[in-house]
Amino acid sequence: MRDELRADLLEVGRLLVSMAEAVRTAMIHATGALLTADRAACEMVIARDAEVNELRRQVDEQVYATLARQAPVATDLRLVITGIQIAADLERMGDLAEHVAKTALRRHPAPAVPPELRDVIASMGAVADRMAGKVGLVLTTQNAPLGAELETDDDAMDELERQLFSILLHRDWPHGAEAAIDGALLGRFYERYADHAVNAGRQVVYLVTGETSEPPGAG
């Protein structure tokens, strides 16, 4: 790969690191706000999603500028375009953090998460945090094996979602339909966040190594 192209790709990578950090921070704060029914924190997460969207716009522009300047072909071309796809996954992760914050806000000042669900939601938040962190780390360290770990993390998230549903569906669930619906939707937001992290991670590995065991975008 030519040095100019490599330099442009590094710039795309830097923007993607900022996005990964932003959507990680968003989910940390959204989970905290959810568990403490913290209105100001919810509103901050919602307001700051615009920054993630703006970063995505910058990634897209940087990708198109790179294509225009470097006119890469074959594998290099695919590599550059991958930046657009990673940014799309990261933006969606930001949206999902925003959904968590909005769920908390809708119930405020009541807590959206009853005591029975606190542990499992906190665990889902922790797994989400770890996954977004790894996406960023693969970008900054070119550490591809870290990207592969995301699949295992995603299995852990799926298992937590099953736990969540088994609590919601227990015959003695005392909180009625509304809290059950909130719990199920929250579970889905975390699970989708993890899916997008896996997808982003797979493509990030491709971006930093040029190698893929599976086609980017699969799964």
By CB under 8 A, name the binding residues for a copy of itself: 56-57, 60, 64, 67-68, 71, 73-74, 77-78, 81, 84-85, 88, 165, 168-169, 173, 176-178, 180-181, 184-185, 188, 215, 217
* Lookup result for tokens 């695919």: 78
Which lies closer to a copy of itself via its Cβ, residue 28 or residue 104? 104
Least distance CB 145 / a copy of itself (angstroms): 26
Which lies closer to a copy of itself via its Cβ, residue 141 or residue 215? 215
Least distance CB 143 / a copy of itself (angstroms): 27
Instruction: State the Cα–Cα distance between residues 187 and 174, nearest whole angstrom.
Output: 18
Instruction: State the Cα–Cα distance between residues 36 and 33, nearest whole angstrom.
Output: 5
Instruction: State the Cα–Cα distance between residues 141 and 208, nearest whole angstrom.
Output: 9
Instruction: State the Cα–Cα distance between residues 188 and 197, nearest whole angstrom.
Output: 14
Q: How many CA atoms lie within 13 A of 76 on its CB side?
A: 15
Which lies closer to a copy of itself via its Cβ, residue 39 or residue 188? 188
Least distance CB 77 / a copy of itself (angstroms): 6
CB 210, CB 82: distance < 8 Å: no
Least distance CB 88 / a copy of itself (angstroms): 7
CB 39, CB 109: distance < 8 Å: yes
Which lies closer to a copy of itself via its Cβ, residue 79 or residue 128? 79
Least distance CB 177 / a copy of itself (angstroms): 4
Which lies closer to a copy of itself via its Cβ, residue 148 or residue 165? 165
DSSP reduced 3-state for 166: helix
CB 2, CB 200: distance < 8 Å: no
